[in-house]
Amino acid sequence: MAKFCSLFSGSKGNCTYIGFGKNGILVDAGVSAKKITDALNGRNIDAGTITAIFLTHEHVDHISGVRVLAKKLHIPVYATKGTLQAMDQLHALDANVDYRELDENLPVDAEVCAFSTPHDAADSCGYIFHTKERKIAVCTDLGTVTDKVHEHLSGCDLVMLESNHDLMMLQNNTGYPYPLKRRIMSENGHLSNPICAGELVKLAQTGTTRFVLAHLSRDNNLPALAKETAVSSLSMGGFENGTDYTLTVAQQTGADPILL
């Protein structure tokens, strides 16, 4: 039976656990190996059952713990060709780690599909993990939901989708220079709460019943605000929270529940 748990989510680091029967994988490892293993242990997940790490892109909040964790657990790291090349240029690879391009021979009890996401990275992607029972999507770090992204997310049982910022909070943040604000709001930046919420309605119409809001900005968002925006849009679309769907806001750190 599939299990899903956000271990860390946000600009300070990202890591998601997905379990398949007795084994599981991680999507990204953007905090220290110790923090990740401690988080797994805190949820009664044996780190020794992790068979691989899948990377979405090369930004530090997604890869900072990869080298140490992969060596500690003796597991391969999968990513797109562009991501691996970018990591090489950043001197973020390690000769003692087994880095592999995504292919069909994966150590996972599920079909794995990587799909392109529009972000200011070399070759960023989201993932679909499809078992006999469940179809799970992880999709963060994207500036807009393209038709192709929506096509991949449609029909998933559980979707983790970025709800990065509240537009008003971002625009009024005097600590963020204008070029940074423009980058975040661009089509290769990050999803705002309203754009995320609008996509959730479309996904609910395709049968998605579990939503996880992810990668919230610590400076330009609030968990309650992201949730309120999502629930309001879903309500306007005719979907009732707790009846037609469940919604969780992934925390930067903390005891997020194991879903599915």
Mean pLDDT of 173-192: 97
Whether the pTM exceeds 0.75: the reply is yes
Answer yes or no: do 169 and 238 share one domain: yes
Residue 26 lies in a domain: yes
pLDDT in tens, 201-242: 999 999 999 999 999 999 999 999 999 999 999 999 999 999
Mean pLDDT of 73-101: 97
Element (H, E) at 5: strand 2-8
Q: Write down which residue in 109, 127, 153 finishes a domain.
A: 109
pLDDT of residue 97: 97
Residue indicated by tokens 């949820």: 43
User: pLDDT band at residue 252, thresholds of 50, 70 and 90?
Assistant: confident
> Of the ranges 120-134, 145-159, 176-190, 244-258, which one carries the lowest mean pLDDT score?
244-258
Three-state SS string over 76-103 comes to CEEECHHHHHHHHHCCCCCCCCCEEECC
User: pLDDT band at residue 3, thresholds of 50, 70 and 90?
Assistant: very high
pLDDT of residue 104: 64
| Amino acid, single-letter form, for residue 196 | C
Residue 126 lies in a domain: no
Mean pLDDT of 94-107: 87
pLDDT of residue 1: 76
Answer yes or no: do 11 and 57 share one domain: yes
At residue 190, does pLDDT exceed 80?
Answer: yes
For the chain, what is the domain count? Answer: 2
Instruction: Tell me the residue range of the domain where 37 lies.
Output: 1-109
> Of the ranges 49-53, 205-209, 250-254, which one carries the lowest mean pLDDT score?
250-254
User: pLDDT band at residue 255, thresholds of 50, 70 and 90?
Assistant: low
Mean pLDDT of 89-102: 96
Q: CB 46: neighbour CB atoms within 10 A?
A: 12
pLDDT in tens, 20-30: 988 999 999 99
At residue 65, does pLDDT exceed 80?
Answer: yes
pLDDT in tens, 131-181: 988 999 999 999 999 999 999 999 999 999 999 999 999 999 999 999 999
pLDDT of residue 259: 82
d(CA 123, CA 22) in angstroms, rounded, equals 31
Across the chain, mean pLDDT equals 95
Residue 199 lies in a domain: yes
Residue 120 lies in a domain: no
Residue 172 lies in a domain: yes
Residue 118 lies in a domain: no
d(CA 68, CA 16) in angstroms, rounded, equals 17
At residue 196, does pLDDT exceed 70?
Answer: yes
pLDDT of residue 253: 80
Residue 116 lies in a domain: no
Answer yes or no: do 102 and 162 share one domain: no
pLDDT of residue 109: 81
> Smallest Cα–Cα separation from 259: which of 167, 154, 158?
158
Look at phi and psi of residue 13 and say left if phi exceeds 0, alpha if psi is from -120 to 50, else beta.
left
Answer yes or no: do 102 and 152 share one domain: no
Which residues pair with residue 101 across a beta bridge? Answer: 79
